[in-house]
Amino acid sequence: MNDAGGIAAIEWRPSDAPVPYEEAVVAMERRAAAIREAGAPELVWLLEHPPLYTAGTSAQPADLLDPHRLPVFQSGRGGQYTYHGPGQRVAYVLLDLNRPDLGTSRRDVRCHVWRLEEWMIRTLAQFGIAGERRAGRIGVWVAGNGGAEAKIAAVGVRVRRWVTYHGVALNVDPDLDAFGGIVPCGLAGYGVTSLAALGIAATMAEVDIALRATFGEVFAAAPICGT
């Protein structure tokens, strides 16, 4: 958010057709450079990918359980293996952490991750779902079918010269079986769920409305992150 426009100056870009992963990474890197070097507007890019796995910078080879199941892409984001595919809303968030309006959370990557999680929690609340954090497990968790903990939103970011990119992935109605080819985020023993699996028949358009409605609550001010 530049000083002139704040939240209102952010560009929102929904993509209707699935975007190839490598194409998205190139576009993000170009836009991040333009934000940093030329003052381009910050961006929230809402999209889906074709079915694929991505490996973050901490990915362990043993966590790729079925390397031939889907294409695998190395990613510069933090984190480990995750799945992307139709029915999952990916939100790539390109923000400038040098903004003076961020106050004490300026240049605070942990605070940025906290905000992304908070954004997902507030978005889930729009659909009557209580999303929660878990110590030592980045992302957002819910009580799945039978009461077992399950992950519904993953977070993975990269920051270059204090401009963020990559972001979050919210499971709306993806093929949950596809997560079986990896140990999602390196966390064995935990399930993965979605809005649909929890009985919420939300369209992607409805999810996008909720994402946009809650974004300003989290990113417009400079909260004390973690409280």
- Domain segments of the chain: what residues? 6-219
Rounded CA gap, 172 and 154, in Å?
12
Which range is least confidently modeled, 10-19, 115-124, 142-151? Answer: 142-151
32 pLDDT more than 70: yes
Residues 191 and 197: beta-carbon distance below 8 Å: no
What is the H or E stretch that residue 27 is in? Answer: helix 21-38
Q: What is the share, in percent, of the chain residues with pLDDT greater than 70? A: 90
Give the residue-averaged pLDDT of 127-150: 87
Rounded CA gap, 11 and 2, in Å?
12
Bridge partners (DSSP) of residue 52 are: 84
Task: Render 175-190 in DSSP notation, one character per residue.
Answer: -GGGGGGB-GGG-TT-
pLDDT at 3: 44
pLDDT at 144: 62
Rounded CA gap, 22 and 35, in Å?
20
CA angle 132, 74, 18 (to 5 degrees): 70
Structure confidence at residue 222 as a pLDDT band (50, 70, 90): low
pLDDT at 180: 95
Whole-model pTM? 0.92
Give the tens place of pLDDT for each residue, 155-184: 999 999 999 999 999 999 999 999 999 998
Higher-pLDDT residue of 146 and 154 is 154
pLDDT at 192: 94
pLDDT at 133: 93
Which range is least confidently modeled, 39-48, 97-106, 156-165, 172-181? Answer: 97-106
28 pLDDT more than 90: yes
CA angle 35, 38, 39 (to 5 degrees): 55
Task: Assess if CATH 3.30.930.10 describes domain 6-219.
Answer: yes
Structure confidence at residue 137 as a pLDDT band (50, 70, 90): confident
Displacement of CA 31 from its chain's centroid (Å):
17
Catalytic residues: 185
Give the residue-averaged pLDDT of 1-11: 67
Rounded CA gap, 43 and 16, in Å?
17
In this structure, the strands spanning 81-84 and 52-55 are: antiparallel
CA dihedral 119, 19, 184, 110 (to 10 degrees): -40
4 pLDDT more than 60: no
Residues 60 and 67: beta-carbon distance below 8 Å: no
226 pLDDT more than 80: no
Q: Is the dihedral of CA 20, 21, 22, 23 positive or negative?
A: positive
Which range is least confidently modeled, 16-25, 159-168, 185-194? Answer: 185-194
Give the residue-averaged pLDDT of 44-56: 97
Residues 83 and 63: beta-carbon distance below 8 Å: no
